[in-house]
Amino acid sequence: MLTKKTILGVLKTKKSLLATYGVNNIGLFGSFVGNNQKSDSDIDILVDFKSSEETFDNLMSIYDVLEKSFKNYKVDIVTKNGLSEHIGSYILKETEYA
């Protein structure tokens, strides 16, 4: 089964590629951070874009890279600017960055 350490390791190896799509920082949150994942858990990723590079095309490119990297898992991506004011602070507190 996939682990937090493995996911963060993959994110670190992809960091330079992801930077070409405007990624300033990328991290993991959700069940994998708390070690509460199940075999059908999705991978929750938080993306912080560089100023003015948060575009739909860049987001889809990042999604494509991550889907290929984690073939047997569903990947959910949230942007830092897209966080809900109600739960955003909780996500930011628990996110572990690559």
Give me the domains of the chain, ranges plus CATH numbers: 4-97 (3.30.460.10)
> What's the CA gap between 32 and 43, in Å, rounded?
7
21, 62 Cβ separation under 8 angstroms: yes
pLDDT reported for residue 1:
79
Catalytic residues: 42, 44
Write the pLDDT tens digit of every residue in 24-71. 999 999 999 999 999 889 999 999 999 899 999 999 999 999 999 999
- CA–CA gap between residue 81 and residue 78 (Å, rounded): 8
